[in-house]
Amino acid sequence: MPLWQSLLFNYILPSIFDAVVIFLLVLMIFKIFRIKDPATRFAFLFLPLLKPFIVLLDNTSTVAQGQNSSGPESGLGIRMPDPLGFITAPSTEIGTLIYDHSTLVVATLTALIIIFALLATRWIQLFLFLNKFKKEEPLSKSEHPQLYDIINGLVAKFKVKHPKLMLTKNFHFVPFSIGRRVPIIVLSEDLINTFPKEQLEIMLAHELAHIRREDNLTGWVALILRDIMFFNPLAHLVYRMLGEEKEKACDRVALEKTGISPKVMANTLLDVAFFYKKARPPQKLLRPVLAKGLLHNRSTLEQRIKSIAEPITGGKPSKVRTSLKASLFIFLLYIQITLTTNIGGQVLFLR
């Protein structure tokens, strides 16, 4: 099988197929079980990013395709993902890769190398951009005792490691958090001087929620998975939905821990949106996309305000409901629905 056909039939099309199937199953679960909790939705929405990536890693020994396939030429089935070939023996390999020195093969390999080099460069640029905020000026306790009083009280409620507060004078970003082992919350001077104590408390609580949920880590994982599957339109949609659910989950946690009314938080979101729109910096190339925090488009802002207005159910979730969600998650993670079809004599195995 030529290289371009192998990439298309063994990896790209199956990856897109898997993303679509898992995405539809996740949406169906949301509908059937009426899952509205943003944290739960966030976890399930990771599956349409993670499962297609497993397909990309799939060992060709597990790919049931090829013109000499002895199996059925069409039909639905279920399989276990086996990227390392533990389940399927190499002797059952049907699809083979034929590498030659044709111009098409050289061009394909060159394009792939360039694409991944650009992606790696983008990740490095973003990492360096975020990392340089660690060198910003620490927020003075003597000049801003009010902020330290707020953060000290919130840390006790959130039970997280005390973050460092850094002050940036070069950007107008709303507070955002970076780092995992040593968490840092970056604030801009204009924002500190613009918003009252109550609204600053909401913003800091929101960032502590990100730290508690370890969103800096999951954000990087989601970004890298999305970029690796740049060819899959659904990966970009799911990445955006993950960002929305992540922000809504942090809004919920901030509401719960601060005890501030949903109306005040909704007004804060609007005030921050107007603040950023007026003070938007000219730098657009290296905006911290992992730390947009309260900065989103209008539709996302409306969804967050709507989520805030919904009542937060009190008490711990029942063990039965938690076990059911965990079982559904594990089932979707380890089971793949397959579709075998014949296109022009070529048996295509989508999984």
Tens of pLDDT along 45-104?
A: 999 999 999 888 876 555 544 334 455 567 777 777 666 555 554 333 333 444 445 676
Mean pLDDT of 265-285: 72
Q: Which residues pair with 347 in a beta bridge?
A: 342
Tell me: pLDDT of 116 over 90: no
pLDDT at 282: 45
Q: 188 and 81 in one domain?
A: no
Number of structural domains (the chain) is: 2
SS3 content of the chain, % helix, strand, coil (to 5): 60, 10, 30
Q: How far apart are CA 313 and CA 317, in angstroms?
A: 9
Taking each helix axis from N to C end, the angle separating 13-32 and 47-56, rounded to the nearest 10 degrees, works out to: 160
5-19, 89-103, 208-222: least confidently modelled range = 89-103
Q: 221 and 256 in one domain?
A: yes
**To the nearest whole number, what is the mean pLDDT of the chain?**
80
pLDDT at 104: 65
The CATH number of residue 287's host domain is 3.30.2010.10
pLDDT at 283: 47
pLDDT at 229: 92
What stretches of 24-90 adopt beta strand conformation (E)?
A: 75-79
Mean pLDDT of 192-210: 92
Distances (CA, A) of 124 to 114, 130, 191: 15, 10, 28
pLDDT at 252: 92
Q: How far apart are CA 224 and CA 45, in angstroms?
A: 15
Q: 210 and 238 in one domain?
A: yes
Tens of pLDDT along 31-41?
A: 998 888 999 99
Tell me: pLDDT of 44 over 80: yes
Q: Tell me which amino acid residue 293 is.
A: G
Q: 330 and 304 in one domain?
A: no
Task: Decide which of 260 and 300 is more confident.
Answer: 260
Domain assignment present for residue 63? The answer is: yes
pLDDT at 65: 41
pTM as predicted:
0.84
4-8, 23-27, 49-53: least confidently modelled range = 4-8
Q: 246 and 141 in one domain?
A: yes
Cβ neighbours of residue 326 closer than 8 Å, sequence gap 6 or more: none
pLDDT at 19: 94
Domain assignment present for residue 106? The answer is: no
Domain assignment present for residue 145? The answer is: yes
Q: How far apart are CA 188 and CA 28, in angstroms?
A: 42
137-138: strand order across its sheet: 137-138, 164-168, 184-188, 176-178
Q: 332 and 231 in one domain?
A: no
Domain assignment present for residue 251? The answer is: yes
Q: How far apart are CA 39 and CA 36, in angstroms?
A: 9
Q: How far apart are CA 272 and CA 266, in angstroms?
A: 10
Domain range spanning residue 44?
Answer: 3-99+320-350
336-343: strand order across its sheet: 75-79, 336-343, 346-350
Distances (CA, A) of 226 to 239, 252, 313, 329: 7, 26, 33, 20
What stretches of 118-206 adopt beta strand conformation (E)?
A: 137-138, 164-168, 176-178, 184-188
Q: 232 and 212 in one domain?
A: yes
The angle at the Cα of 296, spanning 295 to 302, to the nearest 5 degrees, equals: 120
Q: Which residues pair with 79 in a beta bridge?
A: 336
Q: 135 and 219 in one domain?
A: yes
Q: 307 and 281 in one domain?
A: yes
pLDDT at 102: 63
Domain assignment present for residue 118? The answer is: no
Domain assignment present for residue 225? The answer is: yes
Domain assignment present for residue 83? The answer is: yes
